[in-house]
A and B are shown apart, each in its own frame.
Chain A
Amino acid sequence: MNRHALRTFATLALTAAAAVSSAEPIFLSRQYSRCTNCHYSPAGGGLLTPYGRSLSREELSTFGRSPGPTPQGREHEFLFGLLRGRSEPLQLGIDLRPSRLHFDFGELTSTRSLLMNAELTAALRRNGFTFYGQLGRQPRGDDPRVASFEHWLGYESERGLGARVGRFLPAYGVRLADHTSLTRAPLDLDNEDQVYALELSHRSDRHLVQLSAGPGLADALDDAERRAFTASGRFQLDVTPRTVLVASGLWRDDSRLEPARGMTGLALGIAPASRLTVWTEADVRFRGGSPGAHAYAFLGEAAFEVYRGVWLKLTPQLLTEFGNGSAGVVRVAVGADWLVRTHWNVVLSYYDERDRVTDAKTRTLLVQLHLYL
């Protein structure tokens, strides 16, 4: 098995099994260009705000919409409203992703069922402050790990100045629902790869700036071999409510095991119609000790809502190797997301990946039931 196939397998089946709750940039087509309209996290993903919950029911799901100008009942609330609002102002969420994964690499095939996500998240927002904490289970073969992979304290003023400190995923590029995308995995941003950092931000009606810096990967904080200062920057310009331009950069200092490395790039999101969103991201990867030996990552994603709540996706991707633009891997991902009803989605993903040197192919089929309770 070549290294790309190994990575695919490892990414999809083992380590990446703990995907953080996904963000959905496809909703640019609904004129939502900012993650914070629906998520507590400024970088997207994770616990939905009450507005996000309501939107998922009333606007995004196939069968959830209620008649009348306001949502009726408590279906969109935590556990279908079981607590009848008694937890407020504390917002709670449970995220589960039972999954079925089939992997095919020539003569080697593997099929398994796994619980990709299992986490409990809480958030409290008062007077501009947000307290956010998550407790999750990260499946690692036979040795699952339970820990808080994300916890932070944030503040944002009325004028849009913000600060956040704690453990979180730094903002970079476009955060697609597929955390294994080739524009994220090379940055170690795909698999509970949160950093401990301080993030400063400023937002206006048309732009969002996020800058972060800290001691690096949270899981490497007590590991002198891997610990490396990490800084990131992301600038988003909302050209129109349906057109977004993003410039990003991320840099990790060298550690005892790895040279300094980073990535910078541009992403463009366009929603030419209310049911169509197209994202494109192109990044340049660089590393210390290899001047001029850049590598490149390219990703496109077209998502089209063929029926209310049913999205089809096509995501071609390319990742080259350092110093060899002809090597690397090409991946084509196709998928279907069915947002059936409030609190549950069905996600079907198929990945066809080819090594550009050996022509070896890897095919992966992933079916997920996404429960966000």
Chain B
Amino acid sequence: MARAIDDRARFGVCGAGATFGRAARAAAVAACALAGAAAVGSANAPAWRITQGDVRIAVPLRPGGAFEAKTSSLAGTLALASSQPAVLTGELKVELATIDTGIDLRNRHLRENYLEVSKGPGFDTAVLSEIRLLEANGEGFEGRSNFAGSLRLHGVSRSVAGSAEIRREAAGVRVVATFPLALTDFGIEPPQYMGVGVANKLIVKVAFTATRDSSR
């Protein structure tokens, strides 16, 4: 267990992009479980690194319609710390400056006026950690599971919850997770510009492939 905690600290430091995701974490956890990650609390618990992923955020518009914001800047490493339920150490990160809404002006508004990425640490990335896969039962798990985690966004940490689909692929473990997010929970006023606004509640979809981290 001590090793797992050490891993958690280490991965927390080295995680590369912003994490949007509990979902992602959950996925990673699941990946661990799936891949036959070591037994609960094992000192040899394998770590799983995100090798390919993207985050898509469905953003409802007012007075109608929606747009999708996306980024492929998803990175991080996760390790299975315990099972029943599966608990993942490590974190997933997403660099918020890379989010693309499809329109330059909207990108600028999002980054500069609402996410305030220029404020630096705590604002320039979203980090998902403390992921728990509620229905996952350790190694060999494959399928759908609810998950919970802690998301740090806009300088605010709040718990989030959603569902994740985990399956094994040749390249590793594929995870697709979704969860709702309320902007006001993170101190972000829903954007409003010249009569067109964004709804407060967004849906975040995180998809990634994780492979065993050979560097451990």
Contact = CB atoms under 8 A, between A and B. Distances in A.
Q: Does A pair with B?
A: yes
A51 interface: yes
B61 A34 contact: yes
B170 interface: no
A30 interface: yes
Given A49-B195, A51-B194, A51-B195, A65 B104 contact: yes
Interface string A199-238: 0000111101000000000000000000000000000001
A69 B108 contact: yes
B203 to A, nearest CB: 10
B104 A203 contact: no
A37 B63 contact: yes
A59 B196 contact: no
A156 interface: yes
A335 interface: no
B158 interface: no
A58 B64 CA distance: 21
Given A50-B194, A51-B194, A241 B103 contact: no
A30 B102 contact: yes
B68 interface: yes
Contact of B65 (A37, A51, A59, A68): A37
A59 B66 CA distance: 17
Interface in B157-197: 193-196
A295 to B, nearest CB: 33
A34 B193 contact: no
A278 to B, nearest CB: 17
Interface string B79-111: 000000000000000000000011111001100
A208 B64 contact: yes
B106 to A, nearest CB: 8
A54 B65 contact: no
A205 B60 CA distance: 6
| Most chain A beta-carbon contacts within 10 A, residue among B68, B112, B196, B199 | B196
Contacts of B102: 30-31, 274
B58 interface: yes
Contact of B58 (A30, A34, A54, A241): A241
B65 A238 contact: yes
Contacts of B67: 31-32, 241
B63 A34 contact: yes
A50 B195 contact: yes
Interface of A: 30-34, 36-37, 49-51, 54-55, 58-59, 65, 68-71, 125, 156, 160, 203-206, 208, 238, 240-242, 274
For the complex of A and B, 4 pairs with smallest distance between CB atoms: A31-B67, A34-B65, A51-B194, A34-B64
Given A59-B105, A242-B68, 15 more contacts: A31-B101, A31-B102, A33-B65, A33-B66, A34-B65, A37-B65, A49-B195, A51-B193, A54-B105, A55-B103, A65-B104, A69-B113, A203-B63, A205-B61, A241-B65
